[in-house]
Chain A
Amino acid sequence: MSTLEIRDLHVSVETKEGAKQILRGVDLTVASGETHAIMGPNGSGKSTLAYSLAGHPKYEITSGTVTLDGEDVLAMSVDERARAGMFLAMQYPVEVPGVSVSNFLRTAKTAISGEAPALRHWVKDVRTAMEQLRMDPTFAERNVNEGFSGGEKKRHEILQMELLKPKFAILDETDSGLDVDALRIVSEGVNRVRSSGEVGVLLITHYTRILRYIQPDFVHVFVDGRIAEEGGPELAERLESEGYDRFLAPTA
């Protein structure tokens, strides 16, 4: 049982005009076994939250804390965070030419578990996970994300989540760009990992569509760099019918 605690997180990015504040005090606690949907309009700072948790150098934490079971996540390097159990499924996964998927997966697994996986089990695990995600076996020999379609990149992200078994997974718009079949396949992958009860999921999305497949325990509405409203799954249904307008109306 693990806990990820985000307290009063403020984050800015460097722009030509100087530092620009994006996150303005985010508070969020996620426990193992829980799924939290974070929903919000474009530009509200969802990806910024995800990247800040993963430690992307572009984002500067100006105040606040993030702890994983009491450990200071913000003091860790990018790879230390991953080894501590954090995982970010990226909205736009990066191509890495010349590095095959199978080499990449094995290297990552070795780094995270601190030892090389037993070859026979590992090969089987990879094959099974790929089959379940309807990924052709030839993907294993292709270069990481190179020439992958948008949907293939997302499956590849979930493949990593299944194999690396993180404590906390942040899924940044994993649903965007997927057709209905792919959305179902990817959601099944996430649900397989969830069914262990050992992972906490932060499901970032713009649309409610994916929530039909992945039932969240909590829904947070993200507006202008902070959480504007929180509730259970019913909040998502309200957003579905009302949209975000209610939150975007200028406050007097």
Chain B
Amino acid sequence: MTTSPTDVAATGATPTETTTTREVRAPQMSTDLSTDHSKAVADGAHTHGRGGTPETSRASRATSFELADFAVPTGREEEWRFAPVARLAPLFDAAGTGLTGTGTQVTVVNPAEVQVEIVGRDDARLGTAGRPGDRAAAAAWSSFREATVVTIPAQAVASAATSIRVEGLPVAAGGSPPEPSAVHLLVHALPLSEAVVVIDHLGEADVAETVEIVAEEGAHLTVVSIQDWAPGSVHAAAHRMRVARDASVKHIVVTLGGDVVRVTPDAEFTGEGASIEALGLYFADAGQHQEHRLFIDHAVPSCRSRVTYKGALQGAGAHTVWVGDVLIRAAAEGTDTYELNRNLVLSDGARADSVPNLEIETGVIEGAGHASATGRFDDEQLFYLRARGIPESDARRLVVRGFFAELIQKIGVPAIEERLIGAIEAELERSMSELDALAPARQVEA
């Protein structure tokens, strides 16, 4: 019998925050320890589950390559309840005729050690990292014609990052919006290889995407996915990861631009001693919906997972959703997992939903915990900085940068770290005029 201490990182603490920790005492039998912190806003209210809908185990959630196995979402389903399904509807392929748009282009720049291929959908390497878990993911799978496969050969150490650009081609001025399209990528790290792969999403697009990430034995793979779409874009991305024995994956998601971005990283461990560090950074402006739903499946013993997602929100209608499901199956003895989500609400009218779920089916684990906190801008921090002569807008910048600093330091890829610092600066620059016009944020809309 082990107990698992949890602690709460004190970064960005604000007086109004809701901090949730849980000490998990591993039960003898399978027990669902999920807690719904979906209303973890400044008033500290919690709701538990959805009225009438029993919370089911992640293990029993349907997955399939068949589009028809998933009904077209209505918004009432557990996995779609926070999402603007009307905006995402074109990616559900209700007619079942496929997402046939051709306006999204994939370009790869790779160092010599890394191989890049364009393959047909019959390539046997595709579809090996788990199965689609929702309608958009199934539509992405059933629609793509060609896939881009990036392979890091066994024992190869990539000398530079591989860059994959997924770009929505410009639509003619006054023309119709981009047609829904599908993109399929596979990043395949063979045994004992080491590489960094950066996937950039830009331009305007309406796209369902699959990113398969396969890390074979002993591989060290970093995958960074940056969603910085132009306004008007809608993006549903299913990231499916398989992490083999002693392999480690660092999976980094950065969401900045686009009207609706929904990323669902699923990770499954297939061998002992594997680890995943999932980092996420998002910044939602007025009217943006950014949703990140993770599922870490501890199916085998002695694996480690760390999830850290942080987001800032500002502007009317800015909405972020973070759902972190962790399942420790009966066989997964010696699991060590911790997940954290923090949101900084910078202005009125923004809403952050945060739902960590932890299911534990074995009593023999190293540790399991989670924390979720959403707070508004801390006026006392602002006062302290301003009392030292720092003008209000600079003080706000300092606090927001500070909120993200620790997360950025964990990335470990200097070029990406610098880029993200720059991106946050740009977000702040864009929003600062808006902020300046606002009195200090008073209340968070529940």
Contacts and interface: CB of A to CB of B under 8 A. Distances in A.
B399 A54 contact: no
Contacts of A21: none
B306 interface: no
Interface string A65-85: 000000000000111011100
A112 B394 CA distance: 13
A112 to B, nearest CB: 4
Interface stretch (B10-18, B115-123, B241-249, B428-436): B10-18
Interface string B380-402: 11011111111110110011011
B386 A82 contact: yes
A193 interface: no
B392 A77 contact: yes
Given A79-B387, A160-B388, 18 more contacts: A55-B387, A57-B440, A78-B392, A79-B389, A83-B389, A88-B387, A94-B384, A97-B12, A98-B11, A98-B403, A99-B401, A99-B405, A103-B398, A104-B385, A111-B388, A111-B389, A111-B391, A112-B389
B383 A56 contact: yes
Contact of A97 (B11, B380, B384, B386): B11
Nearest to B407: A98
B383 A57 contact: yes
Contacts of A237: none
Contacts of A160: 388
A102 interface: no
B309 interface: no
Nearest to B378: A94
Contacts of A204: none
Contact of A79 (B11, B379, B386, B398): B386
Nearest to A107: B390
A55 B379 CA distance: 13
28 contacts: A57-B379, A57-B383, A77-B386, A78-B383, A79-B390, A79-B392, A82-B389, A87-B387, A96-B385, A97-B11, A97-B13, A97-B402, A98-B12, A98-B403, A98-B404, A98-B406, A99-B405, A103-B398, A107-B390, A107-B394, A107-B398, A108-B388, A108-B389, A111-B388, A111-B389, A146-B10, A160-B388, A164-B389
A144 B318 CA distance: 30
A176 interface: no
A143 interface: yes
Contacts of A90: 384, 387
B78 to A, nearest CB: 33
B114 to A, nearest CB: 34
A96 B389 contact: no
A160 B386 CA distance: 13
For this complex, into which size category does the number of interface residues on chain A fall?
A: 20 to 34
A78 B386 contact: yes
A77 B387 CA distance: 9
B414 to A, nearest CB: 18
A54 B387 contact: yes
Most buried by B among A54, A98, A103, A144: A98
Contacts of A79: 386-392, 395
Contacts of B380: 94
Contacts of B403: 97-98
A98 B398 CA distance: 8
Contacts of A164: 388-389
A83 to B, nearest CB: 5
Given A107-B394, A107-B398, A146-B10, A94 B381 contact: yes
Contacts of B386: 77-79, 82
A131 interface: no
A112 B386 CA distance: 11
A98 B405 contact: yes
A87 B384 CA distance: 11
A99 to B, nearest CB: 4
Contacts of A87: 387
Interface string B331-348: 000000000000000000
A98 B389 contact: no
Nearest to A81: B387
Contacts of A217: none
B168 to A, nearest CB: 34
B402 A96 contact: yes
A150 interface: no
A25 interface: no
Contacts of A143: 402
Given A98-B406, A111-B394, A82 B399 contact: no
B54 to A, nearest CB: 39
A97 B10 contact: yes
A78 B402 contact: no
A96 B384 contact: yes
A144 B11 CA distance: 11
A55 B386 CA distance: 10
Given A77-B392, A108-B390, A111-B389, A94 B383 contact: yes
A147 to B, nearest CB: 8
A93 interface: yes
A105 to B, nearest CB: 9
Contacts of B392: 77-79
Nearest to B385: A96
A103 B390 CA distance: 12
Given A111-B394, A143-B402, A96 B381 contact: yes
B402 A82 contact: no
Contacts of B383: 54, 56-57, 78, 94
